[in-house]
Amino acid sequence: MEVKPRQPSENIMQFAKYHAAGNDFIMIDGIMFPHTPSWWHRESIHKLCHRHYGIGGDGLIVLLESTECDYRMKYFNADGHEAEMCGNGLRCLALFIRDQGYPVSGTVSIETLGGPVSVEILEGNSVRVGISSISFDRSAIPMRGGEEECIDEELKLDKDTKFKITALSVGNPHVVIFGDYTEDDFLKYGPEISNLNLFPDYVNVSFVKIEGLDKISQRVWERGSGATLACGSGAVAAVSAGIANGKLPFGAQILVQQPGGELTVAVKEEYLEATLEGEAVYVYHGVVEF
Catalytic residue set: 86, 231
Report the alpha-carbon angle 28-30-36, nearest 5: 110
Q: Which helix (H) or strand (E) holds 120?
A: strand 117-121
- Count of Cβ atoms closer than 10 Å to residue 86 Cβ: 31
User: What are the DSSP E strand ranges found in 140-203?
Assistant: 153-158, 161-169, 173-178
Residues 96 and 74: their CA atoms lie apart, in Å, by: 14
Closest CA to 169 of 196, 148, 149, 146: 149
Residues 6 or more apart whose Cβ sits within 8 Å of residue 148? 138
Residues 101 and 91: their CA atoms lie apart, in Å, by: 16
Positive or negative: CA dihedral 25, 143, 221, 279 = positive
